[in-house]
Amino acid sequence: MSIKENLQAVSEVAIKDRNFVNHFLTFRQQRGEKISDPDVMAVAGELLSIAWRKALKKGASLEKYTQACMDRLSSKVADDEFETLLQHMYFNDDARGLFQVSPEFMLFKAGSASSGNTRHVGSVLGNMLLSRPEVTQGKPENLNFLEAELLDELQSFVSDFAPADATEDYLPFMGDVFAEDLSLLCSYPSYMMQNLKAFVGLYNFLYSAQLAMNLRSWRTEPTSKPLYFIMDTERASSERTYVREALSSLIDYVEDLFPVLSALEYLNQPDNKESICYPLWKHYQQIEALPADESYELKSGLKRFLENYRNARGREPWSEELNTTEDIFKAITATAREIFRQARSSQLTVNRKVVASFETEVARHFIQNRKRGGRVLIMNQDYLLLLTNLAVGSREKLQYQQLIEEFKRRGVWFDQQSQQALIEFYERVGNLERMSDSGDAVYVRKTI
C-alpha cells in the first residue's frame, strides 16, 4: 500500500489497548537488571543474507550440512581419526570453528534470533539494505584443503534470495553509509570476522542516536545531526560546551522515540499485512505534495484519527488550530508525548524503561562518567580505528578534513580540540602521512 492508501484508511484504524512499536526501533524497554546484548552472529546472518541476496535452500540446516561434509570428506581422507578431528575443529560448540572460516557460513544463523533484542537490531539494520544494490562477496583468504571443501559444499545448500521490502528507510543518509561500510567489510572477510561485534554495536548506536535527533524534524528528509564525541583519553573541560551537552541533549531526544513511533504505527496501518511502513517525514511530504482537494481529504482523516487517539487515551479534545498539515502533525506528535508523560502512569514507566534500555544496552560503550566533568559521549580506540577504516573505505588514504566529513556522514562529530587529539592518535598508531606542514596535506591511511 502507498502512503496515500495508508492515510486514506487512518480515520478508521482501531486504537489498541496497549502502546506498541514494531518498526524503525532497534531496542525496547529494559525488562530486568541483566543487560542483553544482541546475538551478533544472528544479526550478521540477516545482514549478509540481504546484502548478498543469498539464503539457505528450503529444508537446509546446519545438521544436514554437517553430515554432508562428513560424507564428502570421508571419501577423500582415509584416516580413522579424521571424522573425530573434523567434528572437533569445525562442528563442536555450535559449529564455532566453522563460523570463523568465512562470513558465508553465517547464513546458517539468519533467522535464528532467539531474543527480541536480536530480532529488532537485525530487522532495522537489514531494512537499510533492502532498497540498495546487492553487495559483492569477498573471497576468503588462506583457506586450507578442508576449509575449501567445506565452503564448496556450502554452495549446494544456498540459493538466490529476493527479500521483500516492506519498510522504507527512516534515515536514507544512514542507509547509504551503512551499505557502503558493509560492502567494504565484505571485501575483507577476515577483518569482518574480527570486527563484527564492534560494527553491529557501532551502527546500532549511531542509527538509534540519529533517529532520535531527526524525529522532530519531520518536515524535511533526515540529515546527519551534530553529535559530539571525545576520545576516551581526552579531558572534557568546562569550556567544551558541545561535548558536555551532547549526551544530555541526546537523551532528551531519545525520550520521544517510543511515544512518536507508537503513534506512527497507526498511520502505517498496523493490522494490514500488505501495507508498507513509511517514516513520518514521508507522510508529511506526501500530503504537502498533493493537489488541494486530495490533501484536504487526507487531513480530514488525520483529524478524525487524532480525535480517536486522544479519546482512547483519556485526553481532552485538541484545543488548538488544525488548519494546515503542519498543525495536524504537531498535534499528533504532541499528543504522543503527552500520553507518555502523564505522572504516575504506566506509559511514563514504560518510556523510562525504554530510555534506560538505550543507555545501558545500545549506548553503554559510548558513555563515560567523568565525575566532575559529567557524562560524555566517547569513542574508544577500537571503535575509532574501525570507524577510520570504514571512512577511508576502498581508498588507500584520505585527506584529514575529508576524513572528518566522512565521520560526520556517519553521525560522529568532533570539535576542534578532539580533531587535534585525533591527529596525535593517528601519529602514535602510525597511519598518519604528512605531505607538508600544511593541514591540508595531512592524510590518514587505513589499517586493514
Lowest mean pLDDT among 137-146, 277-286, 312-321: 137-146
Lowest mean pLDDT among 9-18, 300-309, 345-354, 430-439: 430-439
Task: Identify the pLDDT of residue 34.
Answer: 73
Q: Which residue has the higher pLDDT, 115 or 172?
A: 172
Task: Identify the pLDDT of residue 441.
Answer: 87
Task: Identify the pLDDT of residue 163.
Answer: 87
For 390-413, what is the mean pLDDT?
A: 97
Task: Identify the pLDDT of residue 33.
Answer: 62
Task: Identify the pLDDT of residue 182.
Answer: 98
CA contacts within 13 A on the Cβ side of 445: 12
Task: Identify the pLDDT of residue 9.
Answer: 96
Among candidates 127, 14, 393, which has minimal Cα distance to 405? 393
For 236-263, what is the mean pLDDT?
A: 94
Residues 400-419: b if buried by 16+ CB within 10 A, e if exposed: beebbebbbebbbbbbebbb
Q: Which residue has the higher pLDDT, 83 or 33?
A: 83
Q: How far is CA 421 from CA 239, 372, 381, 392, 417, in A?
A: 16, 21, 12, 18, 6
pLDDT band (50, 70, 90) for residue 31: low
CA contacts within 13 A on the Cβ side of 188: 17
Lowest mean pLDDT among 111-120, 175-184, 263-272, 362-371: 111-120
Helices of type H across 75-115 = 82-86, 92-99
For 77-85, what is the mean pLDDT?
A: 79
Q: In the 3-class helix/strand/coil scheme, how is 20-71 assigned residue by residue?
A: CCCCCCCCCCCCCCCCCCCCHHHHHHHHHHHHHCEEECCCCCHHHHHHHHHH
pLDDT band (50, 70, 90) for residue 57: very high
Q: Kindly compute the dihedral angle of the four CA atoms of residues 81, 83, 88, 92, in this order, to the nearest 10 degrees.
A: -150
For 411-439, what is the mean pLDDT?
A: 90
Task: Identify the pLDDT of residue 325.
Answer: 98
Task: Identify the pLDDT of residue 340.
Answer: 97
Q: How far is CA 336 from CA 129, 137, 264, 313, in A?
A: 30, 43, 9, 10
Cell of 210: 540519529
How many residues are there in the chain? Answer: 448
For 165-187, what is the mean pLDDT?
A: 96
Task: Identify the pLDDT of residue 220.
Answer: 97
- Amino acid in the structure at residue 340: F
CA–CA gap between residue 134 and residue 48 (Å, rounded): 10
Task: Identify the pLDDT of residue 132.
Answer: 94
Q: Which residue has the higher pLDDT, 142 or 399?
A: 399
Q: Supply φ then ψ for residue 142, to 5 degrees.
A: 60, 40
The answer to whether 149 touches 140, Cβ cutoff 8 Å, is no
Between the ranges 95-99, 334-338, 433-437, where is the mean pLDDT highest?
Answer: 334-338
Residue 438, pLDDT > 70, answer: no
pLDDT band (50, 70, 90) for residue 1: confident
- The structure's pTM equals 0.95
Residue 435, pLDDT > 70, answer: yes
25 CB contacts (<8 Å, ≥6 apart)?
120, 124, 208, 211, 257, 258, 261
**Where are the domains positioned within the chain?**
40-166+171-214
CA–CA gap between residue 395 and residue 338 (Å, rounded): 49
The answer to whether 49 touches 125, Cβ cutoff 8 Å, is no
The answer to whether 243 touches 376, Cβ cutoff 8 Å, is yes
Mean pLDDT of the chain: 94
The answer to whether 408 touches 398, Cβ cutoff 8 Å, is no
Task: Identify the pLDDT of residue 248.
Answer: 96
Helices of type H across 155-291 = 172-186, 189-214, 241-254, 257-267, 280-289
Among candidates 151, 157, 202, 158, which has minimal Cα distance to 181? 202
CA–CA gap between residue 382 and residue 207 (Å, rounded): 19
Give the rounded distance of the alpha carbon of 425 from its chain centre.
28
The residues with which 443 forms a beta bridge, in sequence order, are: 399, 433
Task: Identify the pLDDT of residue 124.
Answer: 97
% of the chain at pLDDT higher than 90 = 84
Task: Identify the pLDDT of residue 73.
Answer: 87
Residue 236, pLDDT > 90, answer: no
pLDDT band (50, 70, 90) for residue 76: confident
DSSP track, 272-323: -TTPPB--HHHHHHHHHHS-HHHHHHHHHHHHHHHHHHHHHTTPPPP-S---
CA–CA gap between residue 97 and residue 144 (Å, rounded): 13
Q: What is the pLDDT of residues 341-394, one digit of tens each?
A: 999 999 999 999 999 999 999 999 999 998 777 899 999 999 999 999 999 999
pLDDT band (50, 70, 90) for residue 77: confident
Residue 83, pLDDT > 70, answer: yes
